[in-house]
Amino acid sequence: MRTSVVAGSVLGCLALAAGAVLGGFVPIPGLGGSMTHPPCQSLPTSERVAAAIASHQPVTAAIQTLVDGATVSIKHPCDGAFADRALVRVAVPDAKARQRLLAWLGTHDGYGVPLEIEVSRAGTSGSGPA
């Protein structure tokens, strides 16, 4: 009887943990959960990000072809001593567009600097090297 109660408790905890992960309450990096940008001191300068965008116009064109309404810009997520650090921000209209872009980035070269994908309507985002 005591073994059944302990086993039931363990299974209940595992079910709660699985539900938290699958429900998105516990984000797992790389699985589409909200992610943060790299540490500010690791981000490139805004000049380097601007140069990366300018020198990778075919990437921007491909993103805008893949995702109707996608916009590419520079984001400055840091302040203080690292206010000049930046990353590429790609805004997409919905979660499906975000998934298409993530799949595309997984098989194509990006800008060579960190990139953040922001879903304009849902407000979720993720970032990583592109």
Q: What is the CA radius of gyration of the chain?
A: 19
- Annotate 54-100 with DSSP letters as a single string: HHTHHHHHHHHHHSTT-EEEEE----GGGTTB-EEEEEESSHHHHHH
Amino acid at 2: R
pLDDT in tens, the chain (130 residues): 666 655 555 444 444 444 444 444 444 444 343 457 899 999 999 999 999 999 999 999 999 999 999 999 999 999 999 999 999 999 999 999 999 999 999 999 999 999 999 998 644 445 555 5
- Residue boundaries of the structural domains of the chain: 1-31, 33-129
